[in-house]
Structure 1
Amino acid sequence: MAERTGHPEQHHLEHHAALNETRVSSKQVYKGPFMTVNLDVVRLPDGKEATREYVVHAGAVMVIPLLDDGRVLLERQYRYATGKVMIEYPAGKLDPNEDELTCAKRELEEETGYTAREYIYLTRIHPIISYSTEFIDIYLARGLTAGEQKLDEGEFIETFTATVPEVSEWIRSGELSDVKTIIGTFWLEKFLSGTWAVPAPVEG
């Protein structure tokens, strides 16, 4: 589904070529089931060399499930790296050879039990540009039908609903600090206010 983004990052690299760094060598220093870590040597714009450590990530999706009554469906999940339970929209990593829309549908059903009549592609974000290749494609899901969760073994997720103003207040107060959920909520507010037109569904 990369065609939807038009590879803007490639355009910017070409347009601002004087800022480019060129890979000289690359070494994989860690490989795990979720990610790998590379250590590269790069040539800087002034000709000098430097090292770059970064996470290689397959990419992910996030779904904003919008209920017919205007509320949104959210999750609470303990995130070990932060040491706290976080409020998030459903999200997950792409499986090998899986396209983004298929992943969005799968993650929504597995984590919440819901299926959707239509999915609307919103945007692609790069949440950690300094040391990760990860991107997250954000979808809006409407026409929801409830079902049963299909959580993976060892996965513990609570689902709940909230109004968009409630979510916005949690963002303002810092109770909700997950960056993808914050960005998704800002997009949703633009659509609900009529400031931005809602794109056509990619399915439904």
Structure 2
Amino acid sequence: MPNKPSIFKRATVARSRLFRADEIHLRFSNGEERTYEKLCTGGPGAVLIVPLLDENTVLLVREYAVGIEDYHLALPKGAIDQGESLLEAANRELKEEVGYGARKLQFLKKINLSPAYMEHGINIVLAWDLYAQRLEGDEPEPIEVVPFPLADLLQLIMRPDVCEGRSIAALFMAREWLAGRLQVDSPLVTPEAPGHGQ
């Protein structure tokens, strides 16, 4: 593996409410120098949840995406609030977007969206043993929840309204973990839930 290039200059060239763009000057181990732009984000990160209503039914959400200027079908997701663990954030977002909490949560993997120019990543969490509980979220309109058979995953990903790569990757990882073909290092978490253990 080659040596990582050294950063000899960094400057912020643009800033918005959500993002910061940095210009990064690099020197590679062979002496070549290049300038890259990197989209930076603040905050503790984000979660994407694969909620299982039962062993073969995943819950998806249909919501508006300004990037494509249309509605699309994807997994629920959201930012991790300050002071929250990623699993607490996953359970909160699940309650806000889907109307369920989870008695069992499993972190699968953190993935990066476009590592060539963006530092943002998202933590994939599998959630099951669900119970009904809704929290007020910050969505501008009600979110439609769409159950779909996990066994029909290939049919799902070929639908024109399913276009988000991170949701597709998360669904495949969840399917492989459930089948015992994917090993992860993090432990299963069972948060307390209303009525659980009574």
Q: Same fold (TM over 0.5)?
A: yes
More helix, by proportion: 1
Identical-pair percentage = 29
Equivalent residue, structure 2, for 1:108: 94
Distance 1:97 1:49, change over 3 A: farther
Distance 1:70 1:165, change over 3 A: closer
Equivalent residue, structure 1, for 2:34: 50
Task: Report how far residue 105 of structure 1 moved.
Answer: 1.6
Normalising by structure 2, we get a TM-score of 0.84
Query: What CA deviation, in whole Å up to 9, does each residue of 1:112-133 have, x standing for no partner?
Result: 1210101011111112111111
Letter in 1 for 2:27: R
Matched, 1:27 2:11: yes
Tell me how large the CA RMSD over aligned residues is.
2.2
Range with bigger deviation, 88-97 or 149-158: 149-158
CA distance in 1, matches of 2:2, 2:115: 18
Which residue, 139, 144, 161 being the options, matches 1:158?
144
Query: What CA deviation, in whole Å up to 9, does each residue of 1:14-59 have, x standing for no partner?
Result: xx243x1211111112222322111111112221321111111243
Equivalent residue, structure 2, for 1:203: 190
- Unaligned ranges ≥5, structure 2: 192-198
- Unaligned ranges ≥5, structure 1: 1-15
State how 1:1-204 maps to structure 2 within 5 Å: 16-18=1-3, 20-57=4-41, 58=43, 59-68=45-54, 70-152=56-138, 154=140, 156-196=142-182, 200-204=187-191
Range with bigger deviation, 49-58 or 150-159: 150-159
CA distance in 1, matches of 2:140, 2:159: 31
Normalising by structure 1, we get a TM-score of 0.82
CA distance in 1, matches of 2:137, 2:121: 23
CA distance in 2, matches of 1:153, 1:185: 23
Task: Report how far residue 155 of structure 1 moved.
Answer: 5.0
